[in-house]
């Protein structure tokens, strides 16, 4: 898992929120919060994600569902939710993390993250992806399709 260590080091050294490596090469880095960077790479270059390595500050269930849908090989997370761990385990996606939490909090820390709530009861990664797209379109007025 040399590439997982590489992705983790890139994330931490540059204080990124998201790093994606494909075939050992850095494909995308971001300082954006939430799952926006992941959604952008799905939109812009979905083919590159299969068997890729992701390092992220926070991985909740929504990000785990996107990883499952796109056949990510391994994930490093500084913070991982228990529901995300379940998804990653169910889809045999190797993961390392610093901290595991019951759920990802929203930015004001008074409730669950909207994406965590949105995917809480979804078991199919395709449905999760469609729900996330719909949320971005309707609530955030961002079209990521």
Predicted pLDDT at 136: 86
Contact 94, 77 (CB under 8 A): no
CATH 3.40.140.30 fits 2-138, yes or no: yes
Q: Is the pLDDT of residue 1 over 80?
A: no
Which residue is listed with tokens 């395709």? 126
Please state the rounded mean pLDDT for residues 92-110. 95
Give me the phi and psi of 56, to 5 degrees please: -145, 150
Q: Is the pLDDT of residue 31 over 80?
A: yes
pLDDT, tens only, 41-70: 998 888 889 999 999 999 999 999 999 999
- pTM for this model (two decimals): 0.94
Domain boundaries defined on the chain? 2-138
The token duo for 4 is: 């997982």
98 C-beta neighbours (distance < 10 Å), count = 11
Give me the phi and psi of 5, to 5 degrees please: -65, -40
Predicted pLDDT at 47: 87
Predicted pLDDT at 137: 85
């Amino acid at each position: 898992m040399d590439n997982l260590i590489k992705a983790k080091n890139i994330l931490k050294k540059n204080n990124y929120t998201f790093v994606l490596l494909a075939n050992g090469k850095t494909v995308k880095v971001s300082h954006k919060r939430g799952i926006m960077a992941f959604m952008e790479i799905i939109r812009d270059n979905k083919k590159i994600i299969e068997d890729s390595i992701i390092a992220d500050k926070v991985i909740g269930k929504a990000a785990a569902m996107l990883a499952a849908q796109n056949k990510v090989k391994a994930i490093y997370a500084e913070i991982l939710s228990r529901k995300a761990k379940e998804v990653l385990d169910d889809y045999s996606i190797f993961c390392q993390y610093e901290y595991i939490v019951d759920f990802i909090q929203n930015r004001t820390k008074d409730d669950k993250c909207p994406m965590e709530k949105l995917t809480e009861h979804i078991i199919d990664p395709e449905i999760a992806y469609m729900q996330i797209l719909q949320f971005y379109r309707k609530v955030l007025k961002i079209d990521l399709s």
